[in-house]
């Protein structure tokens, strides 16, 4: 199993540009989570999907952020327009059985907005 795959690993973009982060969960996992990690705020849950349906997006900071999961093997997190305060490491995680056994995280995307 290749694990949770995220791309790109690093992204540097200019303020105002659109950024798209991608995630491929583990096959057979039916829950997918997007997290943001910063030194100041630690780990923050942005949005959660179950069976490709967004269940809770209350952690999405503002309308500039959107996430989709068109099928069981792919999800995107989009920021438009990006701002310097969006700079962080964004993690995707997936799980089965509603997370009872824990989550599997991807290696993350380090986003820098200049």
Partner 1 sequence: GDSVTQMEGPVTLSEEAFLTINCTYTATGYPSLFWYVQYPGEGLQLLLKATKADDKGSNKGFEATYRKETTSFHLEKGSVQVSDSAVYFCALRREGSNYQLIWGAGTKLIIKP
Choice from 33, 60, 65, 69 touching partner 1 (CB under 8 A): 33
Q: CB 20 → partner 1: shortest distance, Å? A: 19
Counting contacts by CB under 8 A, is residue 42 touching partner 1?
yes
Which residue in 7, 43, 85, 112 binds partner 1 (CB under 8 A)? 43
SS3 74: strand
Contact 36, 85 (CB under 8 A): no
The span from the CA of 79 to the CA of 14, in Å, is 12
- The sign of the CA dihedral 51, 54, 58, 64 is positive
Which parts of this chain interact with partner 1 (CB under 8 A)? 4, 31, 33, 42-43, 45, 48, 50, 55-56, 91, 93, 98-108
């Amino acid at each position: 199993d290749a694990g949770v795959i995220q791309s790109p690993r690093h992204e540097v973009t200019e303020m105002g540009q659109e950024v798209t982060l991608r995630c491929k969960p583990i096959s057979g996992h039916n829950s997918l989570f997007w997290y943001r990690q910063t030194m100041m705020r630690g780990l923050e849950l942005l949005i959660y999907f179950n069976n490709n349906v967004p269940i809770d997006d209350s952690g999405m900071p503002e309308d500039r952020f959107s996430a989709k999961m068109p099928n069981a093997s792919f999800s995107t997190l989009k920021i438009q327009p990006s701002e310097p305060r969006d700079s962080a490491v964004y993690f995707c995680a997936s799980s089965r059985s509603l997370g009872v056994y824990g989550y599997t995280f991807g290696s993350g995307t380090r986003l820098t907005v200049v």
